[in-house]
Amino acid sequence: MVRIGILKERADRRVTVLAPAGVERLKDKAEILVQRDAGRSAGFTNDAYEAAGGKLMGSAEEVMSGADILLSYDHHYDGEELNGDKTFIGVFNFLWMPEQVGRYLHPGVTVHSLDLIPRSTLAQAMDVLSSVGSISGYQAVLLAAERSLATVPMITSAGGTLRPAQFLVMGAGVAGLQAIATARRLGAVVKAYDVRAASKEEVESLGATFIEVEGAVDDSNGGGYASQQSEAFLQKIRDRIHEEASKADVVITTARVPGRKAPLLITEEMVMGMKPGAVVVDIAAATGGNCALTKADKTVMHNEVTILGPTSIECSCAHSTSFLLSNNYVAFIEHLLKNKEVDADDPILRSTLVVRDGASVNERVLALQTAAN
Ligand code: NAD
């Protein structure tokens, strides 16, 4: 029987990628080795893992040497000695860190990175980026509401009426749409912008106003991903966004382009034009940020505007994020175990496979490595 190991994440991650319910689902197909306290900061006890059929191990080394498949969120293999063939499964974001692939180029090592899952119906249950995006969008709104000097809903009280907060959401993918839905539930008036014209309908269906700027390169055939826009078009957007940002109490930015630095959408000049007490939450901070003043994982105060750049905001809701990730990982592992050999024709395994027996094999990652050299 194959042995699957769950590694405990770094302290600031707090999540786990296999909850006890996931162990329960996999226990007939694999022996599950759980590093002690792997789920603790996400609210899953060691007892719960044991009750689900997992075997507790004292250290990461024990899990590494005992398991054939090693699961983590983004625990990067650090050259620890390996015995036998190992498959690492995680969300390694090699599109933004192609140089990290080098760590895994050892005979017998295979790596699947789940952020490379294709956006297909078949792979939907494994889509970790959607899970992380949903929680990130939700959390970004709560963070903004907490930091804002103004309340979000309209409140009528003895002292008068507080008007609803104005939110501006940049990027209407999974995270942006969840931010819009959450802000609307709290009673905010929301405007949103995305380069993909297809997102207009989704934005409007959530009760927000879509900001239309003509002249975008719409990548309808890009597998659901946005393409890089021209500098002239980005300037046209900036003029319109400048106007909208000056009216907003909260700006949430979520725009990303896979494998590239996040597009700059909120310039310093725009921040200078914002209201005192306004808040920017830039959840594209991990890939450079959409706001010129964003500093990863720091709070920046500029002209009385607060700019937050959380890089792992999904981890602050660790239990819920772990629940979703666990379901994604189980769906992927079930798919992997069905295909003993990585079938070159299987679109899911072909897309996620980055290292095979110590060799770098992923076309998208290889193209980035070549471009960097
Ligand atoms: P993402 O995280 O890659 O990017 C976030 C958003 O930023 C995207 O909507 C993108 O268009 C937008 N963006 C990029 N550059 C921009 C710019 N310069 N200005 C404004 N916005 C910009 O995107 P995502 O959340 O992964 O979702 C992208 C699409 O994929 C969505 O349509 C989503 O519904 C779709 N999707 C499909 C599936 C599936 O079919 N299984 C799963 C998840 C997402």
**224 close to ligand 1 (CB < 6 Angstrom):** yes
Using the atom order of ligand 1, give the atom closest to the CA of residue 124. Answer: 41
Q: How far apart are CA 144 and CA 189, in angstroms?
A: 14
Dist. CA 257 → ligand 1 center (Å): 8
152, 138 Cβ separation under 8 angstroms: no
What percent of the chain is helix, strand and coil (3-state, nearest 5)?
40, 20, 45
The set of catalytic residues is 119, 124, 127, 130, 225
What DSSP designation does 266 have? B
Nearest to 182 by CA among 135, 235, 226: 135
Determine if ligand 1 sits within 6 Å of the CB of residue 265.
yes
Whole-prediction pTM: 0.93
Q: Hey, what are 109's tokens?
A: 């090592």
**Is the distance from the beta carbon of residue 263 to the nearest atom of ligand 1 less than 6 Å?**
yes
Ligand 1 centroid–CA 163 distance in Å is: 31
The label of the residue with tokens 């105060």 reads: 301
Identify the residue whose C-alpha is closest to ligand 1 atom 38: 119
CA gap 271, 267 in Å, rounded: 7
Half-sphere exposure of 226 (CA within 13 A, CB side): 24
Test site for ligand 1: of 196, 242, 267, 291, most ligand atoms within 8 A of the Cβ: 196
Give CA–CA dist 14/8, Å, rounded.
9
Question: Is 130 close to ligand 1, i.e. is its CB under 6 Å away?
Answer: yes
d(CA 119, CA 124): 7
The H-or-E segment that residue 201 falls in is helix 199-205
Tell me which residue has its CA closest to atom 1 in ligand 1.
256
Tell me 84's DSSP state: S
Q: Which atom of ligand 1 is nearest to the CA of 263?
A: 18
User: Is there an atom of ligand 1 within 6 Å of 259 CB?
Assistant: no
Closest CA relative to residue 354, chosen from 337, 371, 342, 345: 342
Nearest CA to ligand 1 atom 32: 224
Residues with Cβ < 8 Å from 184, sequence gap 6 or more? 190, 206, 207, 208
pLDDT by residue, tens only, the chain of 373 residues: 999 999 999 989 999 999 999 999 999 999 999 999 999 999 999 999 999 999 999 999 999 999 999 999 998 887 777 778 999 999 999 999 999 999 999 999 999 999 999 999 999 999 999 999 999 999 999 999 999 999 999 999 999 999 999 999 999 999 999 999 999 999 999 999 998 889 999 999 999 999 988 776 665 655 555 566 678 877 888 889 999 999 999 999 999 988 899 999 999 999 999 999 999 999 999 999 999 999 999 999 999 999 999 999 999 999 999 999 999 999 999 999 987 666 667 899 999 999 999 999 999 999 987 877 7
CA 340–ligand 1 middle distance (angstroms): 32
User: Closest ligand 1 atom, CA of 255?
Assistant: 7
Residue nearest to atom 16 of ligand 1 (CA): 255
Order of strands across the sheet that contains 55-57: 55-57, 30-35, 2-6, 69-71, 86-90, 109-113, 353-356, 359-360
Spatial separation of the C-alpha atoms in residues 52 and 50, rounded to whole Å = 5
